[in-house]
């Protein structure tokens, strides 16, 4: 989760796509277009259901056009071939 947050901060689209589960991965990202400035990440909880499935609850703060926002998400991750992939999440 922290590495994906860092990739959003640094706008590393290739890394984000490479760590996204193929069945749910978008075909492309355009992080430069949104004008976001990421301000911080707080991991609230994490839970590993079994050796290949885990969830992470987090809050990420960011600013767009001077207005502050927060993303509260429970993300689901899947491990395949020894690597963890972001699958999807529920946010509020």
Domain boundaries, the chain: 2-91
Please give the pLDDT value at position 26. 97
Positions in the chain short of pLDDT 50: none
DSSP of 14-79:
HHHHHTB-TTT--S---HHHH-EEEEEEEEEEEEEEETTEEEEEEEEEEEETTEEEEEEEEEEEEE
Please give the pLDDT value at position 32. 86
Pick the CATH number of 2-91 from 3.10.450.50, 3.40.50.10320, 3.40.50.300, 3.30.70.1150: 3.10.450.50
Other Cβ atoms within 10 Å of 79 Cβ, number: 14
Please give the pLDDT value at position 22. 96
52: its two tokens: 């290949």
DSSP letter (8 states) at residue 85: E
Please give the pLDDT value at position 73. 98
pTM of the model: 0.90
Say if residues 16 and 6 touch (Cβ distance below 8 Å).
Answer: no
Please give the pLDDT value at position 33. 87
């Amino acid at each position: 989760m922290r590495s994906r947050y860092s990739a959003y901060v640094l706008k590393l689209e290739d890394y984000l796509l490479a760590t996204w589960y193929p069945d749910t991965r978008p075909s492309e990202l355009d992080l430069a277009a949104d004008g976001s400035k990421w301000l911080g990440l707080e991991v609230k909880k994490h839970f590993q259901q079994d050796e290949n499935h885990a969830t992470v609850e987090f809050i990420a703060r960011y600013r767009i056009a001077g207005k502050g926002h927060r993303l509260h998400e429970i993300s689901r991750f899947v491990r395949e071939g020894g690597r963890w992939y972001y699958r999807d999440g529920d946010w509020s």
